[in-house]
């Protein structure tokens, strides 16, 4: 692997400050989704190593929590600076294991780093309250304390930022973390951990365990020493983990799947809507939880929007993310390609029409043609499931009322987008959409300063923003009598 700083390419897990192999010696191969080439190996660990990581975290957390918020902030600030200093290497590593274009990967490193910087600042602002007492002889105070040891489980689609969005607030609050990264993209996680160690994060405060997801997940959720689980991934796995956490009554944060509607009203600026749709739908090859999955276009502008969108989609270049000028890399694996193919086939079988793409790309591997489908309807799989690929599915609607019914007819409630120039409609529709985040005349909504998260079966809790720290803090009420 050609990185300018080879120490960032780690093929061992990190437990209690020691880089280590699995007890069994078993290794897990990691492949480049663009070429199928072997990139390297990580240890295939299980429950035993996860339990050791918990023990290390329990020990380290006590001393970390005793440090002042200002001291923790200084360490986090240093981590942030190191991540940005190594942006190029981290981006390259990310593209190699995940596939997205290098320019996008650089963007993810900066986005991931922004959470570290944000929570370095928030570490100093973990305020409590003084409550006016109803009784004259009492003084009532609320303080906030770290929840303790946090288990973090993360997905492959943002191999860097989904980790920093959890680890940064957890560390800022005074918690220690046992992280299990996605099996497809462990190298980004291990590089982040190497930089955290260099920044001065003490041994055991951030542990990374790679390997058997189910065994590690069971050990983490079963342990009474783990106070909290923070999970980002699919709704199906989130449900399982939530059930497992019931036995030890853990705090749980879940960032799960989405099925975002992207709505174009007749009064929209169509060119802006096309631009927003390309950004929302095709960023990361359609593999983001907030990406447009159902594109609802009002009758009067349907044909015009479809034509403009197809023209824009034809300009997207598919290829290896390391090549200059590529806008779409490969899908993560063959399972992802099969799902995209199945959604397209199901839509076509039920009467949708293909305007553009629709098949695997000539480059092979996980490459898929950016696709536009029209006359998609609520009965098709695309309407109910995350496609997680480069398929723009255009639904038709007549009235705002009918639109809202369709847009909300899903178990998911993460993000939604709409384009309209009518101010009153903007408020009305934004309030009526059942989701955690709404983009109004924009297809890009995320940054570190805002609360990210969903309603319905898209999850529990929020990440980023000033609310993000609360997820890692407990309130403790102190009652001073005899005053
Ligand atoms: P996934 O649910 O398959 O895997 C996520 C993580 O869970 C991985 O680390 C995986 O190894 C682990 N895992 C799987 N089974 C497990 C088990 N039984 N016990 C413990 N851990 C287990 O999801 P994915 O395919 O990696 O990621 C894509 C999904 O993530 C999509 O649904 C996407 O919408 C969602 N996502 C949500 C957000 C958000 O913020 N809401 C952000 C990114 C991705």
Q: Whose CA is nearest to atom 9 of ligand 1?
A: 182
Taking each helix axis from N to C terminus, what angle separates 213-222 and 47-66, rounded to the nearest 10 degrees?
Answer: 50
- 339 pocket-lining for ligand 1 (C-beta < 6 Å): no
Q: Give the per-residue pLDDT at 13.
A: 98
CA distance linking residue 359 with residue 327, whole number of Å: 17
- The string of pLDDT tens digits covering residues 406-442 is 999 999 999 999 999 999 999 999 999 999 999 999 9
Would you state the pLDDT for residue 219? 98
CA Rg value for the chain = 23
CB-CB neighbours of 475 under 10 Å: 11
Amino acid 237: pLDDT: 98
- What pLDDT shows up at residue 2? 79
Range 399-405 average pLDDT: 98
Q: Is the pLDDT of residue 149 over 90?
A: yes
**Percentage of residues of the chain with pLDDT beyond 90:** 99
Confidence grade of residue 183 (pLDDT, cut at 50, 70, 90): very high
User: Does 217 sit in the ligand 1 pocket, CB within 6 Å?
Assistant: yes
Mean pLDDT of 57-71: 98
Look at residue 371 and tell me whether its pLDDT is greater than 90. yes
- What mean pLDDT value characterizes the chain? 98
Our answer on whether the CB atom of 112 is closer than 6 Å to any ligand 1 atom is: no
End-to-end CA, the chain: 66
Band (163; pLDDT cuts 50, 70, 90): very high
Structure tokens given for 150: 């946090």
Q: Decide if 255 is catalytic.
A: yes
Q: Tokens 């909300």 correspond to what residue?
A: 408
Enter the tokens of residue 338.
């099969």
Q: What is the pLDDT of residues 286-337, one digit of tens each?
A: 999 999 999 999 999 999 999 999 999 999 999 999 999 999 999 999 999 9
pLDDT digits (tens, 9 = 90+) for 199-223: 999 999 999 999 999 999 999 999 9
Q: Is 446 in the pocket of ligand 1 (CB under 6 A)?
A: no
ipTM above 0.95, yes or no: yes
Query: What pLDDT does residue 377 have?
Result: 98
At residue 445, does pLDDT exceed 90?
Answer: yes
Does residue 34 register a pLDDT over 90? yes
Tell me the mean pLDDT in the region 259-283.
Answer: 98
* pLDDT surpasses 90 at 1: no
What's the CA dihedral at 152, 66, 173, 42 to 10 degrees?
A: -20
For residue 130, give Cα distances in angstroms to 43, 150, 164. 49, 28, 32
pLDDT tens for residues 227-241?
999 999 999 999 999
Distance 454 CA to ligand 1 centre (A): 15
Question: How many Cβ atoms from other residues are within 10 Å of residue 351's Cβ?
Answer: 11
Q: Check 104, 117, 255, 369 and give the catalytic one.
A: 255
């Amino acid at each position: 692997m050609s990185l300018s700083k080879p120490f960032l390419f780690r093929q061992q897990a990190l437990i209690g400050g020691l880089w280590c192999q699995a007890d069994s010696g078993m290794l897990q191969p990691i492949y480049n989704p663009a070429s199928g080439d072997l990139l390297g190996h990580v240890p295939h660990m299980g429950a035993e190593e996860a339990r050791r990581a918990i023990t290390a975290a329990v020990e380290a957390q006590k001393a970390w929590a005793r440090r002042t918020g200002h001291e923790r902030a200084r360490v986090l600030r240093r981590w942030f600076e190191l991540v940005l200093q190594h942006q190029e290497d981290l981006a390259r590593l990310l593209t190699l294991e995940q596939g997205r274009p290098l320019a996008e990967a650089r963007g993810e490193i900066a986005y991931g780093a922004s959470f570290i910087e944000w929570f370095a600042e928030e570490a100093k602002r973990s305020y409590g309250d003084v409550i006016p007492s109803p009784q004259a002889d009492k003084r009532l105070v609320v303080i906030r304390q770290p929840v303790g040891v946090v288990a973090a489980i993360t997905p492959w689609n943002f191999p860097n930022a989904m980790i920093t969005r959890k680890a940064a607030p957890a560390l800022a609050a005074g918690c220690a973390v046992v992280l299990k990264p996605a099996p497809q993209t462990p190298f980004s996680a291990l590089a982040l951990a190497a930089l955290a160690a260099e920044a001065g994060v003490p041994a055991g405060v951030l542990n990374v365990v790679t390997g058997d997801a189910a065994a590690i997940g069971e050990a983490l959720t079963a342990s009474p020493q783990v106070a909290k689980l923070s999970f980002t991934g699919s709704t199906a796995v989130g449900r399982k983990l939530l059930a497992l956490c019931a036995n030890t009554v853990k705090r749980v944060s879940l960032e799960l799947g989405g099925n975002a509607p992207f709505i174009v009203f007749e009064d929209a600026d169509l060119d802006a809507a096309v631009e927003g749709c390309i950004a929302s739908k095709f960023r990361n090859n359609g593999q983001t939880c907030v990406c447009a999955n159902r594109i609802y276009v009002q009758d009067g502008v349907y044909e015009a929007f479809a034509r403009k969108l197809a023209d824009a989609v034809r300009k997207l270049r598919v290829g290896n993310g390391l090549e200059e000028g590529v806008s779409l890399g490969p899908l993560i694996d063959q399972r992802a390609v099969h799902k995209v193919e199945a959604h397209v086939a199901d839509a076509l079988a039920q009467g949708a029409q293909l305007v553009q793409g629709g098949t695997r790309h000539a480059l092979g591997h996980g490459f898929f043609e950016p696709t536009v489908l029209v006359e998609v309807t609520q009965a098709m799989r695309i309407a109910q499931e995350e496609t997680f690929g480069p398929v723009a599915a255009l639904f038709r609607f007549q009235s705002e009322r009918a639109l809202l019914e369709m847009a909300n007819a899903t178990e998911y409630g993460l993000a939604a987008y709409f384009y309209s120039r009518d101010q009153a409609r903007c408020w009305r529709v934004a309030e009526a959409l059942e989701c955690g985040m709404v983009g109004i005349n924009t297809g890009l909504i995320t940054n570190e300063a805002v609360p990210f998260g969903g309603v319905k079966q898209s999850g529990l809790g929020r990440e980023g923003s000033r609310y993000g720290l609360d997820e890692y803090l407990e309130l403790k009420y102190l009652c001073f009598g005899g005053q």
